[in-house]
Structure 1
Amino acid sequence: MPLSTEDRVAITDLIDRHGHLADHGDLDGMAELFLPDAGYDVTDLGGGVITGTAALREAALALGDRNPVAHHVTNIVITETAEGRVRALSKGFGVSTDGTVASVTYEDTIVRGEQGWRIGHRVVRARRKPLTP
């Protein structure tokens, strides 16, 4: 069955809410966005793969003031891959405490479950060079 408009809105809202929760320090709220055993791959940023919402919370706390003060997401593209599963690509940029800005691409696998749509796996890829795939 194709994704409904309501599904697409819910998935977009899910992705959008990540930045708000992170920026407000609501790290426990990440459980509303990610599956409990979700993989969060920040290997491209030098951090490896973080598994589970508890580990994601601990990693954010360990970064402390090195966390961005603002996360922004845009250009969300949602593609169905299988019943109850989608792939979402989005562009993100973060603003650091010193005012520098960094750009990333989020590659999400999103799963529909009993509690609605949740991110099952996220890969964060740094954008350091223009015109590269």
Structure 2
Amino acid sequence: MPLTAADRFAITDLINLHGHLIDSGDFERLFAVFTEDVTYDVTALGGGVLEGLAGAHEAALALGEANPVAHHVTNVVLGETADGVVRALSKGFGVLTDGSIGSVTYEDTIERGQEGWRITHRTVRPRSTPLQP
């Protein structure tokens, strides 16, 4: 069954909510974005593969003052697979405490569960070279 407009809005809101929770330090509410057993791959940023909500929470706390002060997401593109899993591709940029800005691409796998749509896998890839995949 194709994604409905309501599904698309819910998934886009889900992706957008991530930055608000992270930027406010509201790590206890990450369950509203990710599944309990999420795989969060920040290998390309030097952080390895974080397993579960606890792993993502611990990594954010460990970064401390090195966390960006603002996460922004844009250019969300959704694609549904035959089994109802959604693949989302989006662009993100973060503002650091010194005012510098970094750009990333988010590659998300999203599934509908009892609580609604949640991200089950996220890969974050830094963007620093133009015209590259």
Q: CA deviation at 1:82?
A: 3.0
Letter in 2 for 1:68: P
Q: CA deviation at 1:117?
A: 0.2
Instruction: State yes or no: 1:125 paired with 2:130.
Output: no
8 Å CA contact 1:89, 1:105 repeated in 2 = yes
* Amino-acid identity (%): 65
Unaligned runs of 5+ in 1: none
Could you list the runs of 4 or more consecutive aligned residues of structure 1 that deviate by over 3 angstroms after TM superposition? Answer: none
Hey, what's the Cα distance between the residues in 1 that align with 2:11 and 2:90? Answer: 12
Letter in 2 for 1:26: D
Instruction: State yes or no: 1:113 paired with 2:113.
Output: yes
Instruction: State yes or no: 1:47 paired with 2:57.
Output: no
Hey, what's the Cα distance between the residues in 2 that align with 1:82 and 1:37? Answer: 23
Q: How many equivalent pairs are there?
A: 133
For residues 90-121 of structure 1, what are the alpha-carbon distances to aligned partners after superposition, in whole Å with 9 as ceiling and x for unaligned?
A: 00000000000000000000011111000000
The aligned counterpart of 2:88 is 88
8 Å CA contact 1:106, 1:125 repeated in 2 = yes
TM-score, normalized by length of structure 1? 0.98
Q: CA deviation at 1:81?
A: 1.1
The aligned counterpart of 2:12 is 12
TM-score, normalized by length of structure 2? 0.98
For residues 64-105 of structure 1, what are the alpha-carbon distances to aligned partners after superposition, in whole Å with 9 as ceiling and x for unaligned?
A: 000000000000000001333100000000000000000000
